[in-house]
Amino acid sequence: MACNRWAALTVCLVCGWAAAAWAQAWTERPDWGVCFSDAGATGTIAVLDARRGEHWVFDAERAGTRLLPASTFKIPHTLFALEAGVVRDEFQVFAWDGVDRGREAWNRDQNLRSAMRNSTVWVYQWIAQQLGEGQEREYLRRLGYGNADPSGGVDRFWLDGPLRISAYEQIAFLQGLYRNELPFQREHQRLVKDLMLVQAERSWILRAKTGWGADAHPPVGWWVGWVEWAEGPVFFALNMDMAGIQDAPKREAIARRILVSLEALPAGP
């Protein structure tokens, strides 16, 4: 009975974060449209600037639309693996099976850090197979992560299956992770954040993850994360239509341009 009460409480808490993201007064930024049009892209971006208590969005309707998370799911998926004990730590080695998967960075032994950095799909497919659909579903529901649906193939549901999440919901999830407030062990949340490190300077740290649902209809690209400042974090979630690999750099380029305009990232290289 106590376990059931705890499960119910955690679901309520996490659903509360998602509800809060929807309830916020998001200010539409039509001027950000030029960042997408200049790149020849169609998409949305939501930005929550905790330094100023501001919530901005370009294309609010799309930001509320649930889309395939693709490799952004590696963030919670890593948390699941650690929580279940499927993976011990960031040093555990996943031996490459010798199958050429078309990317040089994937065709070698991996650990959690390289798998996150290189977005190594086969590592996370192995993790999913160890967890099984039942455990995946339990953790997804515990988080209140999008529609929390891992059906349609345990090693494919985030790649071309039914799992869906919106940009607003991505930010709600990231807020909980940033604060170590997700219903998972604190040390696991801290490790996942460390694995998300993209760039760090003396006064700021960028933690983020890309995603590309190449088999979605239409294909969707993501870049989600936050920039840490002494004054507070700036969370962002961008998604856009992807015509092919040539569009991959546009995800970061568009988001960085917007974050620079907000002084959430410095200008320049």
pLDDT at 41 over 80: yes
Which tokens belong to 141?
């529901």
Residue 24: band (very low, low, confident or very high) from pLDDT cuts 50, 70, 90: low
Which tokens belong to 223?
């870049």
pLDDT at 22 over 80: no
Per residue in 206-239, pLDDT (tens digit) is 999 999 999 888 899 999 999 999 999 999 999 9
**Residue 267 counted as domain residue:** no
User: Are residues 174 and 214 in contact, defined by beta-carbon separation less than 8 angstroms?
Assistant: no
Mean pLDDT throughout 34-61? 98
**DSSP letter at 26?**
P
Mean pLDDT throughout 145-151? 98
Residue 19: band (very low, low, confident or very high) from pLDDT cuts 50, 70, 90: very low
Residue 4: band (very low, low, confident or very high) from pLDDT cuts 50, 70, 90: very low
Q: Which of 12-21, 71-80, 115-124, 190-199 has the lowest mean pLDDT?
A: 12-21
Whole-angstrom Cα Rg for the chain: 18
DSSP lists the bridge partners of residue 43 as 240
pLDDT at position 269, please? Answer: 59
Q: Which of 41, 108, 63, 28 is nearest to 224 (CA)?
A: 63
**Residue 205 counted as domain residue:** yes
**Residue 176 counted as domain residue:** yes
Mean pLDDT throughout 91-118? 97
Mean pLDDT throughout 41-45? 98
pLDDT at position 95, please? Answer: 98
More confident residue, 248 or 216: 248
**Residue 266 counted as domain residue:** no
CA distance 122 to 97: 10
**Residue 268 counted as domain residue:** no
Per residue in 64-88, pLDDT (tens digit) is 999 999 999 999 999 999 999 999 9
**Residue 269 counted as domain residue:** no
**DSSP letter at 46?**
E
Q: How far is CA 13 from CA 8, 103, 142, 234, in A?
A: 9, 40, 9, 22
pLDDT at 53 over 80: yes
What's the domain range around 142? 2-261
pLDDT at position 9, please? Answer: 41
CATH number at residue 76: 3.40.710.10
Residues annotated as catalytic (active site), given as ranges: 71
Q: Count of domains in the chain?
A: 1
134-145: buried (b, 16+ CB within 10 Å) or exposed (e) per residue? ebbbbbbbbbbb
pLDDT at position 87, please? Answer: 97
Q: How far is CA 243 from CA 122, 219, 246, 247, 256, in A?
A: 24, 7, 8, 6, 20
* pTM for this predicted structure: 0.91
